[in-house]
């Protein structure tokens, strides 16, 4: 097990009617005026925003609102939010939504607190030193951004999707009421569950040895998500299944399942370019590339993939041939993706990649051929092209 630091300062308020605590939680931060940041019409249609406004009014908290966040959140909306916060004297951001809204809120918080062009932080030109405080009311279990230090934004100029990690942007609190996810369309639920699995897989598939406890946590989390995703397909308003998935989403990306290991993250890097250029749903994009990535790299340590196959996917262990077990496990994961209407190829996303597009994706993924990606196997630009070809 490698040396590690585990830092998870976010206060979690979990359960039915948990959103009723929002005013008290914001007041505890000593803040006077909040930006309520949200996505589309669902928060309005469900009545959630109106309830939040009333709760803030009762606690004497001033607020302004900014909606319109879309999946693969846009830099232009971040700029709009920064200007609004500066104009209105906002000193707190309340994200009402899923990962896209929370990521957009973090970017706005960086921009207000640090000044200058916020995209610099995502291009790694500068490092953010601070962020105005952020809280979240989660309405989609998926990204885990409510307990992570990460934010991913898409710049419409070149359609570049880039991430920025910083502990100053960690949410001060995260309100999680599983009932708020009842109305999600099946596709969003399935994409979210896939994203949760992938956050864990990116950490689990490692070259490190002697990580028994971390492995066990990751395996339990993945089995929990797989089992409860199947329940939600048949019974979308099953509270216990929604609760298990929601909590799994937070634990999958707060660092717990990666303690003592080095993550891979190549699948996320591959998907980021697909999301940036073709605006595909993040979870679906991950499912579309994961199997091809896995087949490309598994021989670096087939025993690790065999462990996933046996302990998570229930594949019989061929003790004489770990590669055979590994491939069976990859197939079993892809079968699960198909069982929840997730793609296992880019064509199934409705995207037919040309050779020229593959070249562009690989060029952007390797930051103009200046970096390698992946921890399980280090991948250069030609490797990246090969995986995109396999996945198309």
At 205-214, the pLDDT tens digits run 999 989 999 9
- Pair 246, 174 in one domain: no
- Pair 235, 341 in one domain: yes
Last residue of a domain, one of 154, 180, 206: 180
pLDDT above 90 (res 32): no
pLDDT of residue 153: 97
Whole-angstrom distance, CA of residue 77 vs CA of residue 194:
26
pLDDT above 90 (res 165): yes
Beta strands of the chain (E only): which ranges? 11-14, 33-38, 62-66, 92-97, 134-138, 150-155, 160-165, 173-176
Rounded to two decimals, the pTM is 0.94
Range of the domain at 157: 11-180
Average pLDDT rounded to a whole number, residues 269-280: 95
Average pLDDT rounded to a whole number, residues 378-387: 98
Instruction: Tell me, yes or no, whether 283 lies in a domain.
Output: yes
Whole-angstrom distance, CA of residue 291 vs CA of residue 339:
15
| DSSP for residue 47 | T
Residue 40's pLDDT band, with cuts at 50, 70 and 90, is confident
The structure tokens listed for 51 are 């309830």
Please name every residue paired with 160 in a beta bridge, in sequence order, or none if there are none: 155
- Pair 209, 130 in one domain: no
- Pair 224, 307 in one domain: yes
Whole-angstrom distance, CA of residue 321 vs CA of residue 338:
26
Q: How many domains, the chain?
A: 2
pLDDT above 90 (res 46): no
Last residue of a domain, one of 180, 197, 216: 180
Beta strands of 77-225 (E only): which ranges? 92-97, 134-138, 150-155, 160-165, 173-176
- Pair 254, 337 in one domain: yes
- Pair 136, 249 in one domain: no
- Pair 117, 237 in one domain: no
Whole-angstrom distance, CA of residue 255 vs CA of residue 10:
12
pLDDT of residue 385: 98
- Pair 150, 201 in one domain: no
Instruction: Tell me, yes or no, whether 1 lies in a domain.
Output: no
CA distances for 177 relative to 13, 150, 180, 324, 365, angstroms: 8, 22, 6, 42, 36
pLDDT of residue 159: 93
Whole-angstrom distance, CA of residue 92 vs CA of residue 304:
44
pLDDT of residue 44: 86
Of 86, 18, 77, 88, nearest in space to 52 by CA: 18
- Pair 81, 208 in one domain: no
* Least confident piece of the model among 37-51, 122-136, 269-283: 37-51
- Pair 275, 375 in one domain: yes
Asked if residues 96 and 52 have their Cβ atoms less than 8 Å apart, the reply is yes
Instruction: Tell me, yes or no, whether 132 lies in a domain.
Output: yes
Last residue of a domain, one of 165, 180, 195: 180
- Pair 163, 135 in one domain: yes
The structure tokens listed for 232 are 């939600």
Please name every residue paired with 153 in a beta bridge, in sequence order, or none if there are none: 162
Instruction: Tell me, yes or no, whether 314 lies in a domain.
Output: yes
At 199-245, the pLDDT tens digits run 999 999 999 989 999 999 999 999 999 999 999 999 999 999 999 99
Q: What are phi and psi of 159, to 5 degrees?
A: 50, 55
Sign of CA pseudo-dihedral 218, 198, 168, 242: negative
Whole-angstrom distance, CA of residue 341 vs CA of residue 284:
9
Whole-angstrom distance, CA of residue 187 vs CA of residue 281:
10
Asked if residues 381 and 342 have their Cβ atoms less than 8 Å apart, the reply is no
- Pair 63, 203 in one domain: no
At 70-108, the pLDDT tens digits run 999 999 999 999 999 999 999 999 999 999 999 999 999
180 HSE (CA, 13 A, CB side): 28
């Amino acid at each position: 097990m490698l040396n590690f630091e585990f830092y998870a300062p976010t206060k979690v308020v979990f359960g039915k009617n948990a959103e009723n605590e929002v005013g008290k939680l914001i007041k505890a931060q000593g803040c006077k005026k909040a930006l309520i940041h949200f996505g589309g019409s669902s928060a309005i249609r469900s009545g959630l925003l109106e309830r939040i406004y009333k709760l803030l009014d009762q606690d004497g908290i001033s607020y302004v609102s900014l909606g319109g966040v879309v999946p693969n959140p846009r830099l232009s909306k971040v700029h709009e939010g920064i200007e609004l916060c500066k104009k209105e004297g906002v000193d707190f951001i309340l994200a009402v939504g899923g990962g896209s809204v929370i990521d957009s809120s973090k970017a706005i918080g960086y921009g207000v607190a640090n000044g200058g062009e916020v995209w610099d932080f995502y291009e790694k030109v500068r490092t953010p030193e601070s962020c105005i405080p952020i809280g979240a009311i989660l309405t989609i279990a998926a990204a885990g951004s409510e307990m992570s230090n990460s934010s991913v934004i898409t710049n419409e100029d070149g359609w570049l999707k880039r991430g920025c990690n910083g502990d100053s942007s960690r949410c001060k609190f995260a309100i999680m009421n599983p009932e708020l996810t009842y109305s999600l369309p099946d596709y969003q639920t399935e994409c979210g569950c896939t994203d949760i699995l992938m956050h864990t897989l990116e950490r689990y598939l490692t070259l490190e040895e002697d990580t028994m406890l971390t492995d066990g946590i990751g395996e339990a989390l993945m089995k929990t998500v797989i089992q409860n995703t199947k329940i939600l397909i048949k019974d979308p308003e099953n509270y216990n299944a929604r609760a298990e998935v929601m909590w799994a989403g937070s634990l999958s990306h707060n660092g717990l399942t990666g303690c003592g290991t080095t993550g891979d993250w190549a699948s996320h890097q591959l998907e980021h370019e697909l999301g940036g250029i073709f605006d595909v749903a993040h979870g679906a994009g991950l499912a579309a590339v994961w199997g091809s990535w896995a087949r490309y790299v598994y021989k670096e340590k087939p025993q690790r993939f065999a462990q996933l196959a046996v302990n998570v996917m229930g594949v019989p262990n061929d003790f004489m041939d770990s590669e055979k077990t590994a491939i069976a496990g990859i197939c079993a994961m892809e079968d699960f993706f198909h069982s929840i209407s997730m793609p296992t190829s880019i064509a199934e996303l409705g995207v037919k990649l040309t050779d020229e597009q593959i070249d562009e994706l690989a060029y952007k993924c390797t930051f103009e051929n200046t970096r390698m990606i992946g921890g399980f196997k280090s991948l250069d630009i030609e490797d990246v092209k090969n995986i995109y070809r396999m996945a198309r």
